[in-house]
Amino acid sequence: MYTKAAKIIKSSKRCVAFTGAGISVESGIPPFRGENGLWNKYDPQTFDIQYFYSHTKQSWEVIREIFYDLFGKIRPNAAHYALVELEANNMLSSVITQNVDNLHKDAGSKIVHEFHGSLKNLICLKCRTKYKILEIDLKVLPPVCKKCGGILKPDVIFFGEAIPEPAKTNSFNETRKADCFILIGTTGTVAPANTIPSAAKSNGAKIIEINPYVSEYTRSVTDIFLEEKASIAMEKLIEEIDKL
């Protein structure tokens, strides 16, 4: 199966990776859903945009605890670096990620469409000025804009918000251009991102899925299912590609 997948990747004219929480689990980030998911410990309502507006300080306290105290210490893993290698060798055109952890960019991927935004940036809700997280002190909550004094929010989508542009348009454009999609660590349950692989399949793309568990895609759009953790599967794929 790995040899067949490697041949598809190497012979494709435009290959795209589509990643979900599963690729970051090996870096130490717990998934949102499932047995040890963050939603078992924290109320998802904390990440609803209306709750953020009405309970800004409480929402920010949870955001800081999860995303900046925990996520701030994590690093990319072998799967992230394998995608960087594919891109460097002109075998991967872009990465579409549902993750907000910035690990693809930290690893060195050049073209990354962050479908749900990135925690590395904050945005002022009043004047829309953007800041790098390192520019802002999170000891005092909620953080405020240095220009207008407005409330700052992580530049990621909360429940109730629209998918950011140009990430949305760029991602769906890839479903029309790519002839190969590598799905890595995504369950296929989060809309509207979960429609991207189906759109690519309907436009003729071959779908290679890497996942330790059967997903919503496995029996519907997947052509080759590599039932393995992201880092192990990607390392095997790189080895097979190098043999060709």
Q: Just list the catalytic residues.
A: 116
β-strands 15-19, 180-184: how paired?
Answer: parallel
Distance between CA 64 and CA 70 in Å, rounded? 8
β-strands 117-124, 130-132: how paired?
Answer: antiparallel
SS3 per-residue string spanning the chain: CHHHHHHHHHHCCCEEEEECCHHHHCCCCCCCCCCCCHHHCCCHHHHEHHHHHHCHHHHHHHHHHHHHHHHHHCCCCHHHHHHHHHHHCCCCCEEEECCCCCHHHHHCCCCEEECCEEEEEEEECCCCCEEEHHHCCCCCCCCECCCCCCEEEEEECCECCCCCCCHHHHHHHHHHHCCEEEEECCCCCCCCHHHHHHHHHHCCCEEEEECCCCCCCCCCCCCEEECCCHHHHHHHHHHHHHHC
Distance between CA 158 and CA 154 in Å, rounded? 9
Cβ–Cβ under 8 Å, residues 180 and 206: yes
